Amino acid sequence: MTPPPNDPPSDFIRDIVAEDVRSGKHTKIHTRFPPEPNGYLHIGHTKAICLNFGIAREFGGLCNVRMDDTNPEKEETEYVDSIMADVHWLIDGWADKNLCLNSGGAPFFASDCFQPIYGFAVQLVRRGKAYVCDMSAEQTDEYRRVGKESSFRDRSIEENLDLLARMKAGEFPDGARTLRAKIDMQSPNMWLRDPVLYRIRHAQHHQTGDAWCIYPLYDFAHCLSDYLEGITHSLCTLEFEVHRPLYEWILQTLDLPNELPQQIEFARLNLTYTVMSKRKLKQLVDDGLVGGWDDPRLPTISGMRRRGVTASVLRDFSYRIGITKYPSLTEVDALEHAIRAEFNQSALRRLAVLRPLKVTLTNYPEGKTEELDAINNPEDHSAGSRKVPFSRELYIEEADFMETPVPKYYRLKPGGEVRLKYGYIIKCDEVLKDSLGKIVELRCTADLESKSGGPNSNRKVKGTIHWVSAAHALEAEVRLYDRLFTVPDPDAGGDFKSFLNPHSLEIVRAKCEPSLGDAKPELRYQFERLAYFALDPDSQPNELVFNRTVTLRDTWAKEAKK
């Protein structure tokens, strides 16, 4: 397996930044991550965070976190808090030194700049580059479509100044007027057809309260926030490409003495078998189709964290997928590979049986217990070993026995032999069933000479399976997560909710080896031959709850399908 790429990736944006440093255009690189606080962050944001903080880190610069909070009707402080928690979690120990907050230690807010932004609006009016328009939203749309100029376009500067001040003073109801840039109603780029800069909204804002009743739109606020914060490279997703001429027009039309930021667009992340839009994620949450924003099936950062994915895995993944302008659809396999690559190195191995089948060793003394040596991590000898109790009555995995085995099956079968990991080779003598014909117990004999580590342990059998001593087993709730959707691209068409995977969560009662009793939330566990698991926050000292992060690769499952 290839090691995670330690070297920062190369891409067209880093090339531009490097050239700007080389040419002396910038001496200090300053990026920003500008989420709107109207939902939780997801793995798509991870890509943006790793890009912006990665660049800051590589070029010795800074990266601001800025809440893009120009629409008070959709935004809440709950989201501000969750966003900050997720960003910290993702960058701590990696780029936390490049994180730039305001002097009070809080993130930046576009709303911090409402006053200067308003000042720039006044400046635009004074320069004859903006005007107050009384048309309705519908009429504005209509005129823009056909390229017709508003009848209010040629108001005098004095009248515009007066009306803008009265808009700000709250003299007009919502939607009554707007401030518009005066650019070019014939422009082939719709965003240059006198775009709206300010709208009237008598709404409480989560940061500014009722200080304002007019709010700048994204296009006006974003470029100016970038400028005011001293951003050098403003990296955004592809849908803002057509806005770039407006971004540049605003900055160039104003009298701005400092260096201007440069907007560069890149493709957002799409992942198979999931959805990434905040609107759709919110719908799943609001409709109760998942447990919340941190449901481990969701691609939210909080959901993946709960599922057991680590920040380093997410960063590794972000580096692997690269940055381009091609709107791609990345297979989840790449994410799962990143998880397995890290966890194979770091996870502690444990024995646990998800679907128990009882096994009695008829030739093993009743009441006897042995403590067997088990290796904690074959990839990391410093992880040491532990003792696992072994006794006459055990549980093995239901799937590790077949009464009528299929070809190439080399686990336990009637009359067949298999090795119990770290223990003995056993042979199945008898299959016990209940009145319905369901297998309830296996009676086996152990080859007492074959004990692992013993002098005669080198006899080979084809299969080795995991097990747990019945008397010593710990019960645990194990949540088995699978893909949220049954189709690779639930966005492709139709109602995405109709593609939800009904089996995306299965809960089982598992039997675990005793050492799992002091499982720690910060550690990852591999239940041998099964999957990687992490403790869920629901877990209690006497009621363990594990989440399956990702299964092990299973070439037998593939073989069995043939």
Partner RNA sequence: UGCCUCGUGGUGUAAUGGUAGCACGAGAGAUUCUGGAUCUCUUUGCCAAGGUUCGAGUCCUUGCGAGGCAGCCA
* Residue 381 makes contact with RNA by CB under 7 A: no
* Residue 22 makes contact with RNA by CB under 7 A: no
Asked if 391 and 368 touch (Cβ cutoff 8 Å), the reply is yes
If the CB atoms of residues 420 and 505 are measured against RNA, the closer one turns out to be: 420
Annotate 451-478 with DSSP letters as a single string.
Answer: -TTSTTTT---S-EE-EEEGGGPEEEEE
Span from 281-289, 334-342, 473-481, 536-544 in contact with RNA (CB under 7 A): 334-342
- Residue 311 CB, shortest distance to RNA, in Å, is 20
Edge-to-edge strands of the sheet including 544-551? 348-350, 525-527, 531-535, 544-551, 474-481, 505-512, 352-353
Query: Interaction with RNA in 534-553: which residues (CB under 7 A)?
Result: 552-553
Asked if 160 and 130 touch (Cβ cutoff 8 Å), the reply is yes
If the CB atoms of residues 334 and 440 are measured against RNA, the closer one turns out to be: 334
Asked if 293 and 300 touch (Cβ cutoff 8 Å), the reply is yes
d(Cα 216, Cα 201) in Å, to the nearest integer?
10
* Residue 349 makes contact with RNA by CB under 7 A: yes
> The tokens of 455 are what?
């002098």
Query: Interaction with RNA in 225-254: which residues (CB under 7 A)?
Result: 238-243
Span from 82-90, 295-303, 416-424, 441-449 in contact with RNA (CB under 7 A): 416-424
If the CB atoms of residues 423 and 505 are measured against RNA, the closer one turns out to be: 423
Among 46, 140, 515, 549, binds RNA (CB under 7 A): 140
Among 10, 252, 362, 363, binds RNA (CB under 7 A): 10
If the CB atoms of residues 323 and 505 are measured against RNA, the closer one turns out to be: 323
Query: Interaction with RNA in 96-125: which residues (CB under 7 A)?
Result: none
d(Cα 435, Cα 122) in Å, to the nearest integer?
86
Question: For residue 446, what are the β-bridge partners?
Answer: 426
Helical pair 311-321 and 43-58, crossing angle rounded to 10 deg? 80
Binding letters toward RNA, positions 477-516, x by CB under 7 A: ----------------------------------------
* Residue 303 makes contact with RNA by CB under 7 A: no
36 is catalytic: yes
- Residue 92 CB, shortest distance to RNA, in Å, is 25
If the CB atoms of residues 91 and 323 are measured against RNA, the closer one turns out to be: 323
Which residue among the candidates 201, 268, 280, 282 is catalytic per the annotation?
268
DSSP conformational letter for 2: P
- Which helix (H) or strand (E) segment holds residue 359: the answer is strand 356-361
* Residue 207 makes contact with RNA by CB under 7 A: no
If the CB atoms of residues 277 and 391 are measured against RNA, the closer one turns out to be: 277
> The tokens of 460 are what?
């080979």
Residue 12 half-sphere exposure toward CB, CA atoms < 13 A: 9
73 is catalytic: no
Query: Interaction with RNA in 382-411: which residues (CB under 7 A)?
Result: 408-411
Among 92, 141, 154, 171, binds RNA (CB under 7 A): 141
DSSP conformational letter for 401: B
Evaluate the CA torsion angle 387, 391, 397, 401 in order and state its sign: positive
- Which helix (H) or strand (E) segment holds residue 15: the answer is helix 12-22
Span from 130-138, 360-368, 512-520, 542-550 in contact with RNA (CB under 7 A): 130-138
Q: Can you tell me whether residue 230 is helix, strand or coil?
A: coil
Among 155, 233, 479, 529, binds RNA (CB under 7 A): 529
Return the amino acid letter for 468. V
If the CB atoms of residues 334 and 432 are measured against RNA, the closer one turns out to be: 334
Evaluate the CA torsion angle 520, 521, 524, 527 in order and state its sign: positive
Alpha helix (H) residue ranges in 92-136 = 114-126
Binding letters toward RNA, positions 447-466, x by CB under 7 A: ---xxxx---x--x--xxx-
* Residue 171 makes contact with RNA by CB under 7 A: no
* Residue 191 makes contact with RNA by CB under 7 A: yes
Number of H helices, E strands in the chain: 13, 26
Which residue among the candidates 168, 193, 278, 529 is catalytic per the annotation?
278
d(Cα 316, Cα 336) in Å, to the nearest integer?
11
28 is catalytic: no
Query: Interaction with RNA in 251-290: which residues (CB under 7 A)?
Result: 267
Which residues are identified as catalytic? 36, 268, 278
